[in-house]
Amino acid sequence: MTRIGGGFGRRLRNDFVMEAAQVSKAVQAPVNVIWTREDDMTGGIYRPVYVYHYKAGIKNRSLTSWYLRSASVNSGNGTRQDNFPAGALDNWQVDYNNYQSPITTGAWRAPNHNFVAFADECFLDEIIHELGKDPLEFRLELCEKAKTNPGGPVRFDPDRYAGVLKLAAEKAGWGESKPKGVFQGIGAHFSFGTYVAQVADVSVTDGKLKIHKITCAVDCGIVINQNGAENQIEGSIMDGLSHAWYGELTFKDGQPEQANFNTYKVMRINEAPKVEVHFVKNEESPMGLGEPGLPPLAAAVGNAIFKATGIRVRELPFSKTDLSVKDKNSG
């Protein structure tokens, strides 16, 4: 048994077992195969790549239609076509295309949700800004429409979705006065039976991003182990934040150009924000916790970055976007 709880999708593969068996057979003796960091990073199973293209229809200051088209590598459908705000709109279409690549890819924490939640929630924020409405209140309006006057099948519970939005906003002090230069963004997502909303407090000074705090509300039904549940969500937030901020592998002639942590940057302790996790108390059946805390994180931070700078981050990682172009903090 491989005790690699932080391996996530990587532990679904058995190539390292096969290699040990092949080497053992070749030398006719027991062996202990150990990969170097460079072996691991250049011979790995990588997170799939996704590209999303959105269109929306707006009429009489209301969102009336939503169109998403995606292209993904080695993963079939790179979307989740029933994501919020599906069900709240009368006109809804999602298409996808798959590109088969020889680069080895596989599951990564919260498969598909990890990317499309960022894209969905940031695009929704762009629409909300165009309408001149509050990001929290507009999301709650969509939940109410999905509940009382749905435009199609609703694959989530609008009341529970609205519940985590309200709880996260309340605990984060949404709409309240913040220290100068600190701005908030919100994101939410439903995955693996669990509802999660997050509010990010960020500042951007001279183009440098600082994330001060992440406030998270979770409705996973009955919480069996409070300490374990908190650890799962906190770990998801830190994991998601590190990858959203820095994580990138580039390839040249079929080989990854990053082979160790000197070229593949991860978030450091001094960059980690304060994290607050709050659970909704109810009697619903317990659902997933290992993955749902990650998907809305990048969107909450991206939407906060827009508030701080006026710059829309439409590509991950954040480090690829120059945040010094429209810095508003001096005002």
Question: CA-CA distance, 121 to 143, in Å (whole number)?
Answer: 14
Q: Do 20 and 169 have their domain in common?
A: no
The count of structural domains within the chain is 2
At CA 114, angle to CA 112 and CA 118, rounded to 5? Answer: 110
Alpha helices in 98-157 (DSSP H): 113-131, 135-148
Residue 295's pLDDT is: 97
Backbone angles phi, psi at 46, to 5 degrees: -100, 160
d(CA 20, CA 330): 59
Residue 104 lies in a domain: no
Answer yes or no: do 153 and 252 share one domain: yes
Between 297-309 and 113-131, two packed helices, what is the crossing angle to 10 degrees? 30
Q: For residue 15, what pLDDT is reported?
A: 85
Instruction: Give the per-residue pLDDT at 11.
Output: 73
| Spatial separation of the C-alpha atoms in residues 132 and 126, rounded to whole Å | 10
| Confidence at residue 306, expressed as pLDDT on a 0 to 100 scale | 97
DSSP 8-state code for residue 103 = S
Whether the pTM exceeds 0.85: the reply is: yes
329 occurs within a structural domain: no
Q: Are 89 and 115 in contact (CB under 8 A)?
A: no
Verify that 261 and 143 share a domain, yes or no: yes
Q: Which residues pair with 66 in a beta bridge?
A: 56, 92
| Structural domain includes residue 309 | yes
CA angle 116, 122, 123 (to 5 degrees): 90
Total residue count of the chain as it appears in this document: 331
132 in the same domain as 251? yes
In a domain, 106, yes or no: no
Asked, for residue 217, whether it belongs to a domain, the answer is: yes
Q: Is residue 282 part of a domain?
A: yes
Q: Give the residue among 303, 297, 308, 293 at the shortest CA–CA distance from 122.
A: 303
Distance from the first to the final alpha carbon of the chain: 57
Q: In terms of domains, do 139 and 248 share one? A: yes
User: 301 lies in a domain?
Assistant: yes
The whole-number pLDDT of residue 175 equals 94
Residue 229 lies in a domain: yes
Beta-carbon count within 10 A of 138 CB: 20
Residues 23, 141 within the same domain: no
Chain CA centroid to CA 286, Å: 22
What does the pLDDT read at residue 8?
65
Q: What confidence tens digit (pLDDT) does each residue in 86-116 have? A: 999 999 999 999 999 998 888 889 999 999 9
Residue 84 backbone dihedrals phi, psi, to 5 degrees: -55, 135
**Which range of residues forms the domain containing residue 14?**
5-34
CATH code of residue 135: 3.30.365.10
**Regions of the chain short of the pLDDT cut 50:** 327-331
Answer yes or no: do 19 and 156 share one domain: no
Give the torsion through C-alpha atoms of 12, 17, 19, 20, to 10 deg: 160
